[in-house]
Amino acid sequence: MEPYETYETHGHRLDLDTLTPLIVIVLFEGVDLLDVTGPPEVFSLVPRETEDAAGYRVVLAARTLDPVTTAAGVRVLPDLTFSEAAARSIDTLLVPGAVELDAERRVRALTDPEVVDWVRTLAARTRRVASVCVGAHLLAAAGLLDGKRATTHWSTAEQLAAEYPEVEVDADPVFIREGGVWTGAGISACLDLSLALVAEDFGEVVALRVARQLVMYLKRPGGQSQFSVPLEPVSATRRGEDLRHFVRRRLGGRIGLADLAAYAHVSERQLARIFKSELGMTPAAYIESARVELARGRLEATDATLDRIASTCGFGSTDTLVRAFRRTLGITPTEYRLRIRTG
C-alpha cells in the first residue's frame, strides 16, 4: 500500500496514514442524509466493542471541498475530493443515493453521470463496494452490478430492473452480498448493511454489541424480508387510494372480491386489473400484505397471543397467520417477536 499524505481541509488536518481500514462515502448534491450519516454511526462504535482500537476511519469524498446540500437541506462538508480519494487504497466504498418525484409524484432514483464515472474509478481502488438504498442505481450505471443479484429501496426496484436488465433485482432482502459487492435496501436498512460489514470484519459478537449500543431491536440477516410491508399504492390515484383505505378499514373481518368489486362499481376481473396497475399486486396479495403489516404492529406493541392476533387481523387461524408471515417476511410470527425484542 502506498504511503498516505496529510491534507489540510476546512481548517483541520486530516492525517490519512491512520485510515486503516479506510471507508470512503460518496457525497453529492441532493444525496439522502441518512444514507450518509447512518453508516458512520455504526462504524464509530466498533472501537468500544473490540480490542482493536483502530476500528475504521470514515471520510466523505465529493467533487470539491465545498459544502454539499443533502436532500434534507442539511449541508455536509467533504473531507476529500474524488480525485484525492482515487489516489488512495480504499477498503470500503459506500455509495448512497438520491431521488426525485416525477410529474406523477412517483419516486425516481437519480444518477449523475459524473458521479457514476467517479464511482467506477473509485471502485477499481476498493476491496469492497456497497450501495445504500437507491445508491444501487449508481452502481448499476457504473456497470458494477452486471450479472449480479441486487436490492434497493422497494419504491425504485421496478425502475432499477427496467433500466438495467442485466441486473437481477430482488427488492425483498434487507441487503445482498455478491462477492465484493453489497447492496442495501431502503432507508434504515443502511444500519443493517453497516452491521453486516462490521460482522464480516470483526465478527458477529462485535456486530451484535454495536447493535445493542445503537438500541436497535435486532440485527437483521440479509436474506430476511424488509419488515415494513410497502402499503402505499404505486399510482396515487383517488381510485387506488379509496380501495386501499376500504381494505385497511376491514382487515379484521372478511374481505371478499365481490365486496371490493361492488365498492368500486366494477367487475371482479376489472378489479384485478385495477389492483395490478394501481397497487402493484393482486387483491388477495394486497389484503394479505396489509394484514401482515397489522399483525406485525400487534407483535411489536402487545403481548397478545398468536390466536388473538390472527383473529383481530382477519387471518382466521394461527396456521394462516404463520403461513402469511413466512410468505411475506420469511420468518414465523414467534421468530419475529423474539427478534424485534432482542438487544
Same domain, 66 and 199: yes
In a domain, 156, yes or no: yes
For residue 343, what pLDDT band results from cuts at 50, 70 and 90? Answer: very low
| Lowest-confidence segment of 49-53, 222-226, 307-311 by average pLDDT | 222-226
Same domain, 179 and 287: no
Question: Residue 17 is part of which domain span?
Answer: 6-213
Same domain, 167 and 264: no
Residue 190 known to be catalytic:
no
User: CA-to-CA distance for 333 and 185, rounded, in angstroms?
Assistant: 22
- The Cβ of residue 300 has, within 10 Å, a number of other Cβ atoms equal to 13
Q: Is 254 exposed, middle or buried (0-12, 13-18, 19+ CB in 10 A)?
A: exposed
Q: What's the confidence (pLDDT) of residue 216?
A: 67
Q: What is the pLDDT of residues 115-167, one digit of tens each?
A: 999 999 999 999 999 999 999 999 999 999 999 999 999 889 999 999 999 99
Same domain, 151 and 253: no
Same domain, 54 and 202: yes
Same domain, 196 and 258: no
In a domain, 277, yes or no: yes
Mean pLDDT of 195-203: 89
User: CA-to-CA distance for 53 and 67, rounded, in angstroms?
Assistant: 30
Which of 36, 42, 133, 144 is labelled catalytic?
133
Q: What's the confidence (pLDDT) of residue 339?
A: 65
Secondary structure letter of residue 277 according to DSSP: I
Same domain, 208 and 98: yes
Same domain, 200 and 246: no
CATH at residue 148: 3.40.50.880
Same domain, 59 and 103: yes
- Residue predicted with more confidence, 112 or 290: 112
Same domain, 260 and 207: no
Q: What is the pLDDT of residues 65-89, one digit of tens each?
A: 999 999 999 999 999 999 999 999 9
In a domain, 1, yes or no: no
In a domain, 222, yes or no: no
In a domain, 314, yes or no: yes
pLDDT above 60 for 16: no
Same domain, 138 and 271: no
Q: What is the pLDDT of residues 201-247, one digit of tens each?
A: 988 778 878 888 887 644 444 444 444 444 444 444 677 778 888 88
Same domain, 155 and 295: no
In a domain, 110, yes or no: yes
- Split into its structural domains, the chain has a count of 2
CATH at residue 300: 1.10.10.60
In a domain, 114, yes or no: yes
One-letter amino acid at 79 equals D
Average pLDDT, the chain: 85
- Strands annotated E in 102-196: 107-109, 126-131, 149-150, 168-169, 175-178, 181-184
In a domain, 11, yes or no: yes
Percent of the chain with pLDDT over 90: 51
* Boundary of a domain, candidates 180, 196, 213: 213
